[in-house]
A and B are shown apart, each in its own frame.
Chain A
Amino acid sequence: MSTQNIAAPRSPYLSHRKRNRFNIEKWGWIYMRVSGFLLVFLIFGHLFYNLIFPGKVSILDWAFVAGKFSDPLWMWWDGAMLWLALIHGANGMRTLVNDYAHGRFRSVLLWALGITTVVLLVLGTLVLTTFDPCLGPTDNAELIAICAAQ
């Protein structure tokens, strides 16, 4: 008997598992690695600029943050950190919930996690895009002058 005569094995064991095109576990796994790699640079750049590079940690105040947010580079930098890190963390929590919680408790936790993540993302993005430097307290003369001119 040659191999051509043998029928291909059937696969009855596959039926009970759902097959879907988009695999959240696979893309979650890839996302964790890609975002993790990017976040190393984003977070260390952020820490370096805020705590070491232009002055020291002592210059960190409202005016410093306002100055950063007026620069599109830092807006995009912080926006990327916000989205990448929040989804990275939320996906990590999701896998923990999937590993350790069961039944109704699991779906409650997953929903709570999802809603929290979306609320934080929306809030954070709103602050980043609509930030008004004149709303906060400051004794920075330059900022006071700019705000007074408006």
Chain B
Amino acid sequence: MAGAATLEAVDNAGAPEAPIQAFTVTLNIRRFDPEKDAEPYWQDFDVELYATDRVLDALHKIKWEQDGSLTFRRSCAHGICGSDAMRINGRNRLACKTLIKDLDISKPIYVEAIKGLPLEKDLIVDMEPFFASYREIQPFLIADSKPKDGKERIQSVAQRARFDDTTKCILCAACTSSCPVFWTDGQYFGPAAIVNAHRFIFDSRDEAASVRLDILNDKEGVWRCRTTFNCTEACPRGIEVTKAIAEVKAAVLRGKPDIPKQ
């Protein structure tokens, strides 16, 4: 067949694919070993990387090829588990979702642990205060009444869409640890806890909205939000965090959430 032959000829004649270009990237990482160091310090590493690599790949290369003592959390490495939130060039990002090509590699890339939570080692912080706030808003469906027709709690598409945005949270703490109010006052619930409260407050099947609104009407609740939008900017899932907080504020003022009837 003539067509196939031509194709083959073109394939043979075509120049061999150019090798993918690698770059030497400098990473400045804020290191801290509680057994040796009194204070955290910056250490730089040079790594060969491709434009399609992620910051997490760079950290892996350092840990596996240069310094095995570098410590960081990661699990799924694909932006689902929320383990590897860190401060990359001053912004809270997931290391596994930040591509090298999106960063300016003519300068060093600065990587440090998220702020506002106790530093344990290198890029690892104690997440317990964060999860304590999360537990406090009772992040589970509370429905004591008998379902209609005794079987299931039916929800319309519009009712489900009402809280869809806040179901996306992966609890990575990027939002809470980007909040300047949280930095200076660890008692503040923080954006993540309010987002997860929003997910149940605005769920038409849930019956404990008043309890959660009462919890968030606390001195350290939604009113400490100064709408700086750091949380919305930081969220790796694109949740409109500040909007969710504003909706909870409105719900506290109204005494009940604004949920579609059908």
Contact = CB atoms under 8 A, between A and B. Distances in A.
A25 interface: yes
B135 A13 contact: yes
Contacts of B220: 17
Interface size classification for chain B: 20 to 34
A102 B184 CA distance: 9
Contacts of A17: 136, 215, 218-220
B146 interface: yes
Given A8-B144, A9-B138, A99 B218 contact: no
Given A9-B142, A13-B132, A99 B221 contact: no
Contact of B223 (A13, A26, A100): A26
A28 interface: yes
B195 interface: no
A3 B147 contact: yes
A25 B217 CA distance: 9
Nearest to A20: B219
A30 B181 contact: no
A18 interface: yes
Interface in A94-125: 95, 98-100, 102
Contact of A11 (B138, B217, B249, B252): B138
Interface in A1-17: 2-4, 8-9, 11, 13-14, 17
Contacts of B146: 2-4
A29 B143 contact: no
B258 interface: no
The 4 residue pairs across chains A and B that have the minimum distance between CB atoms:
A25-B223, A13-B136, A29-B223, A25-B219
15 contacts: A3-B143, A3-B147, A8-B144, A9-B142, A11-B138, A17-B218, A17-B220, A23-B217, A23-B218, A24-B219, A26-B223, A29-B249, A99-B181, A99-B184, A99-B226
